Amino acid sequence: MKTFHKGGVHPNDNKLNADAPAQVLTYNGPFCIMVSQHLGAPSRPIVQKGDQVKRGQPLTENTAFPGSVVHAPVSGTVQNVTEAPDTGNFARPAIFIQPEGDEKEDFISDDPTLEREISLSPQEIIERIKDMGIVGLGGACFPTHVKLSVPKDGKAEYLLINGVECEPYLIDDYRLMLDKPDEILVGIRILMKALSVDKAIVGIEANKPKAIALLRQKAADCDGITVEALRMKYPQGAEKQLVKALTGREVPSGKLPIHTGCVIQNVGTCFAVYEAVQKHKPLTERLVTVTGPCVESPRNFWVKIGTPVSALVEACGGRPENTGKVIAGGPMMGKALPHLDLPVTKGLSALLLLPEEQAHRRTAEHCIRCGKCVEACPMGLEPYLLHAAVRNKRMDLCERHHITDCIECGCCQYTCPSFRPLLDTLRLGKSKVNQIIRNRNTPTR
């Protein structure tokens, strides 16, 4: 079985209750839609207080490249255009909608039958994906249409589909692969057409045998699509690691996967692309895992973007007494939430409720020079050294030792027997070095 070779760790996969069917979350309260839900230039709201909106109506426009838009998840009245806290408790622009009636934009088709015929041209597909607000649903939320527009110095050969889901606890991609395999495969064919590539490889980790078998069987009559089982290892879902695992190619430092001829999309994104292109549906809904050792019955929910996360927790039986931390995303790369009064965004893949005894960090001890972090780093960095360099403000040293290659996977911190805050310092140093590089490259006056 294939995998990437350098570094990586093996956390317990904890895929609790993975075979529970997905449910639709019903919620009728006010929706809060964050204006910018993607990575890139901020968007600008185009609706005002008091406006009537239909389901699927665009609420924002792009200000600059790379941008993406959001749409109304329900029909109703715009209550307010103001600010709401994001996952870091910073106030960001948001639109509040009070649901009313059930009107939708005419172009949306709610017909559930599978549509295999792809009628649009590559250019039209990319344009449609842009208009429907599709972003990478693996977590980074990078606008999908930008990834599909191949830069001049690259040429796409392979489309790699990420069904790895290497983070412990998360089961939403797995559920989607079991529930919507045909739609995902049509989505893949749409993306292949948009990129004009004839080879696509779906990578799935070996702990999901059902998904592998199902997609293999369905893909048998799709030309050019193969399904590859991968040996379990974190962070296999990271772009560069997935390229290595599936094609054996190495993405050089400072380059993008496209420079090795690969474009990577998540399975969730493929489904959203299917919905956007075949059914003309904007991205206003996604699958979210609610899980954790103290959650009674971990499950997946189809949730409308803008629903408060507290509604999700309620639907799972409420917040258990001994909850110490609620994390948006998985335990390795997720972010602890300050409170539950936050809206679901396009990038939210899971809510992980950790009990008090698992929620805290342990006291950092001195580095014992065991080298475990160096062994674990999938990018071949020396975290202990970079940690010291950042603490001593040696940014030149950080740059020379490629701190900007760090993918923030957290393997180093996970593996450190002295519980040192390696990832924290690396992130800090990486952002500082990136700023230094930017300043150096912008000519002064």
Partner 1 sequence: MTTLLYAVLLLAGTGLIAAVVLYAIATKFKVEEDPRIDLVAERLPGANCGACGKAGCRDLAKALVEGGDLVCPVCSNEEWAAVAEMLGLHADTCEIKIPVVRCQGGRLNSIRQTTYEGFESCAYAHSLHAGENGCRYGCLGLGDCTRACSFNCLSMNPETGLPEVNEAVCTACGACAQACPRGIIELRYKHAHEGRIYVGCHTEDKGALAMKHCLSACIGCGKCAKVCPVGAIKVENNLAYIDFTRCTHCRTCVDVCPKHAIVSTRPSDPEPAN
Rounded least distance, CB 82 to partner 1, Å: 10
Select the residue interacting with ligand SF4 from 137, 225, 416, 433 (CB under 6 A): 416
SS3 label, residue 418:
coil
- The answer to the question of residue 406 lying near ligand SF4 (CB under 6 A) is yes
What torsion do the CA atoms of 67, 287, 267, 171 make, to the nearest 10 degrees? 130
Rounded least distance, CB 432 to partner 1, Å: 8
381 binds, among ligand SF4, partner 1, none (CB under 5 to 8 A by kind): ligand SF4
23 binds, among ligand SF4, partner 1, none (CB under 5 to 8 A by kind): none
The separation between CA 179 and the C-alpha centre of its own chain, rounded to angstroms, equals 19
What does 27-63 look like in DSSP terms, one character per residue?
Answer: --S-EEEES--SSSSPEEE---TT-EE-BT-B-EEE-
Question: Which residue lies nearer to ligand SF4 by CB, 217 or 434?
Answer: 434
- Cβ burial, residue 77 (10 Å; 0-12/13-18/19+): middle
SS3 label, residue 224:
coil
376 binds, among ligand SF4, partner 1, none (CB under 5 to 8 A by kind): ligand SF4
Which pair of tokens denotes residue 82? 């103001």
Q: Which stretch binds ligand SF4 (CB under 6 A): 93-101, 108-116, 126-134, 408-416?
A: 408-416
User: Residue 194: how many CA atoms within 13 Å on its side-chain side?
Assistant: 28
Select the residue interacting with ligand SF4 from 369, 438, 440, 445 (CB under 6 A): 369
Query: What angle do the packed helices 267-278 and 172-179 form, to 10 degrees?
Result: 50
Q: Nearest CA to 269 among 215, 211, 346?
A: 346
Q: Order across the sheet with 158-163: list the strands.
A: 225-230, 199-205, 158-163, 262-266
Select the residue interacting with ligand SF4 from 47, 148, 156, 426 (CB under 6 A): 426
Strands 323-328 and 225-230: unpaired
Query: What angle do the packed helices 383-391 and 422-441 form, to 10 degrees?
Result: 70
Applying CB under 8 A, which residues contact partner 1? 85, 88-91, 335-336, 338-339, 360-361, 421, 424-425, 427-428, 431
Which pair of tokens denotes residue 106? 């005419």
- The answer to the question of residue 404 lying near ligand SF4 (CB under 6 A) is no
369 binds, among partner 1, ligand SF4, none (CB under 5 to 8 A by kind): ligand SF4
- The answer to the question of residue 240 lying near ligand SF4 (CB under 6 A) is no
Rounded least distance, CB 85 to partner 1, Å: 8
SS3 label, residue 315:
helix
> 10 Å Cβ neighbour count for 309?
23
Distances (CA, A) of 99 to 60, 182, 262, 304: 18, 32, 42, 12
Rounded least distance, CB 415 to ligand SF4, Å: 6
Rounded least distance, CB 316 to partner 1, Å: 22
Length of the chain: 445
217 binds, among partner 1, ligand SF4, none (CB under 5 to 8 A by kind): none
- The answer to the question of residue 377 lying near ligand SF4 (CB under 6 A) is yes
412 binds, among partner 1, ligand SF4, none (CB under 5 to 8 A by kind): ligand SF4
Which pair of tokens denotes residue 273? 């692309």
Select the residue interacting with ligand SF4 from 129, 263, 367, 389 (CB under 6 A): 367
Question: Which residue lies nearer to ligand SF4 by CB, 150 or 364?
Answer: 364
377 binds, among ligand SF4, partner 1, none (CB under 5 to 8 A by kind): ligand SF4
339 binds, among ligand SF4, partner 1, none (CB under 5 to 8 A by kind): partner 1
Contact yes or no for 148/191 (Cβ under 8 A): yes
- The answer to the question of residue 410 lying near ligand SF4 (CB under 6 A) is yes
- The answer to the question of residue 390 lying near ligand SF4 (CB under 6 A) is no
Rounded CA-CA distance 153/26 in Å is 47
- The answer to the question of residue 334 lying near ligand SF4 (CB under 6 A) is no
Amino acid at 418: S
338 binds, among partner 1, ligand SF4, none (CB under 5 to 8 A by kind): partner 1
| Binding footprint of ligand SF4 on the chain (CB under 6 A) | 367-373, 376-379, 381, 383-384, 406-412, 415-418, 420, 422-423, 426
